[in-house]
């Protein structure tokens, strides 16, 4: 023991002090201790000591916040996060699965949700920017690229592409002609091939879209997703019903307003799914008014249980076009439009040579026929002809076409072919 004491410097009696001096010595010592510990006095129940300054032994009693502090027991496992379910209410958020990311989600108790990273929007031409076949239709068939409409030949139904709003350049409009009293509906869906469908087997996905109704809309609007397990490519838009129930999604009637609004639905594909389609469907009642229609755009189907911001499947407009051309390519249409090079095989047969970006399968040739629709320029002259047909040996990347009904030329002549009528068109189709 040092004297004075080593930490506080309190002076104590020494061995040589006179006994008579001890009372005074202890008074000095006691007062020094009293002075040093003065700040420890006071306080109220629950208060804790807090430093009042950097000076030694300078304390003050303050109200404790221990009762509101986050306790160790709030976390249970590696990766847990401390979140909140409301003002002053901390809550544990368990870590998600490997590779998942944290996103805001106001529908959960903590306002947060782990979900798989957005893979992509799998819907082709999801805002109808690609329209190689035209922009207005009334009969069954593929309409805007990758979208197949079913009107069943009922009069007074038109599917058209109209000007969009906001972030969307186009909307699809399905309209019943004013005064029409038939209530037959229209389906308008997109089938997905096996290569596009299989990655979604067993996955929870969210499909979302933007829609609105016309002021006179008399009917109902629903969204179906049909799926199948066949190993044969199938257009499920035309084959899924009416034999089976709409699975895995049947929204029932969706309440639309006249304001373009986003709707989203989450469901899980069966584990064995190999193909599916998404199918908006419109039905009507009564007599059609002037605006007995619905409009929609911005379809998105993605892995996860929340719709993320809309994106094109193809990212860019060129990417979207290329994706659609896997299924359909318009080679040429209209008056004085170049088609391809060709050569005369025999005096009466012209062969036309096409190469093209790879398609899903060796495509069908879809070519209009009419008097003088085609012109073959060769050897200082020309042959006008009316139709062309696919020849053999077609592959997903190339095809030979021919005409052997109007050609009168010389074998070996080479030249080029153009379309020469406003209604003339040549396209390749590898659709489902």
The residues that touch other proteins, with contacts defined as CB under 8 A, are: 140, 150-153, 183-187, 219-222, 224, 232-233, 235, 238-239, 241-243, 246, 250, 252-253, 279, 281-283, 360-370, 387-392, 394, 423, 429-432
**Smaller CB separation from other proteins, 292 or 431:** 431
CB 405 → other proteins: shortest distance, Å? 11
CA pair distance 73, 75, nearest whole angstrom: 5
Q: How many CA atoms lie within 13 A of 244 on its CB side?
A: 14
Radius of gyration of the chain (CA): 39
Does a cis peptide bond (omega within 30 degrees of 0) precede residue 248? yes
CA pair distance 288, 218, nearest whole angstrom: 7
CA pair distance 250, 60, nearest whole angstrom: 68
CB 206 → other proteins: shortest distance, Å? 21
**Smaller CB separation from other proteins, 105 or 233:** 233
**Smaller CB separation from other proteins, 131 or 424:** 424
CA pair distance 72, 74, nearest whole angstrom: 5
CB 352 → other proteins: shortest distance, Å? 12
**Smaller CB separation from other proteins, 270 or 283:** 283
**Smaller CB separation from other proteins, 93 or 207:** 207
CB 263 → other proteins: shortest distance, Å? 15
**Smaller CB separation from other proteins, 191 or 304:** 191
Strand order in the sheet with 248-250: 141-142, 148-150, 186-192, 275-283, 220-228, 248-250
Segments in 208-252 forming alpha helices (H): 236-239
C-beta separation of 59 from 50 below 8 A: yes
- Parallel, antiparallel or unpaired: strands 293-303 and 398-403: unpaired
C-beta separation of 390 from 365 below 8 A: yes
CB 355 → other proteins: shortest distance, Å? 17
Report residue 357 as tokens: 């970006």
CB 402 → other proteins: shortest distance, Å? 9
CB 245 → other proteins: shortest distance, Å? 8
**Smaller CB separation from other proteins, 306 or 400:** 400
C-beta separation of 418 from 377 below 8 A: yes
**Smaller CB separation from other proteins, 36 or 391:** 391
For residue 415, CA distances in Å to 290, 351, 401 come to 53, 10, 14
C-beta separation of 192 from 147 below 8 A: no
CB 219 → other proteins: shortest distance, Å? 7
């Amino acid at each position: 023991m040092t004297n004075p004491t080593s930490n506080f410097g309190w002076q104590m009696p020494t061995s040589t002090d006179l006994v008579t001096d001890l009372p005074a010595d202890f008074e000095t010592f006691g007062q020094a201790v009293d002075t040093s510990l003065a700040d420890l006095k006071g306080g109220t129940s629950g208060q804790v000591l807090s430093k009042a300054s950097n000076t030694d032994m300078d304390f003050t009693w303050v109200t404790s916040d221990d009762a509101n502090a986050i306790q160790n027991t709030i976390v249970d496992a590696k990766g847990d996060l401390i979140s909140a379910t409301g003002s002053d209410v901390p809550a544990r958020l368990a870590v998600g699965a490997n590779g998942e990311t944290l996103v805001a989600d106001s529908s959960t108790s903590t306002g947060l949700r782990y979900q798989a990273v957005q893979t992509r929007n799998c819907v082709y031409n999801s805002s109808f920017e690609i329209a190689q076949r035209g922009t207005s239709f009334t009969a069954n068939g593929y309409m805007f690229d990758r979208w197949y409409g079913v009107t069943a030949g009922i009069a007074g139904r038109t599917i058209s592409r109209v000007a969009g709003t906001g972030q969307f350049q186009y909307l699809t409009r399905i309209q019943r002609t004013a005064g029409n009293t038939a209530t037959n509906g229209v389906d308008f869906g997109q089938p997905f091939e096996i290569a596009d469908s299989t990655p979604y087997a067993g996955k929870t996905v969210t499909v979302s879209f933007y829609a609105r109704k016309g002021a006179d809309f008399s009917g109902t609007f629903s969204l179906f997703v049909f799926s199948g397990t066949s190993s044969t490519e199938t257009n499920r838009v035309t084959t899924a019903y009416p034999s089976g129930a709409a699975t895995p999604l049947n929204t029932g009637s969706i309440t639309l307003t006249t304001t373009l609004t986003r709707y989203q639905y989450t469901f899980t594909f069966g584990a064995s799914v190999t193909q599916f389609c998404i199918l908006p469907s419109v039905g009507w009642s009564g007599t059609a008014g002037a605006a007995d229609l619905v409009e929609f755009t911005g379809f998105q189907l993605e892995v996860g249980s929340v719709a993320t911001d809309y994106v094109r499947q193809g990212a860019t407009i060129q990417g979207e076009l290329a994706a659609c051309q896997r299924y359909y390519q318009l080679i040429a249409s209209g008056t004085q439009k170049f088609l391809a090079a060709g050569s005369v095989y025999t005096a009466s047969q012209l062969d036309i040579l096409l190469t093209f970006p790879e398609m899903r399968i060796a495509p069908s040739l879809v070519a209009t026929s009419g008097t003088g629709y085609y012109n073959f320029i060769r050897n200082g002259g020309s042959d006008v002809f009316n139709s062309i047909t696919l020849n053999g040996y077609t592959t997903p990347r190339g095809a030979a076409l021919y005409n052997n009904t109007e050609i009168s030329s010389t074998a070996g002549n080479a030249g080029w072919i153009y379309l020469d009528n406003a209604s003339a068109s040549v396209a390749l189709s590898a659709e489902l």
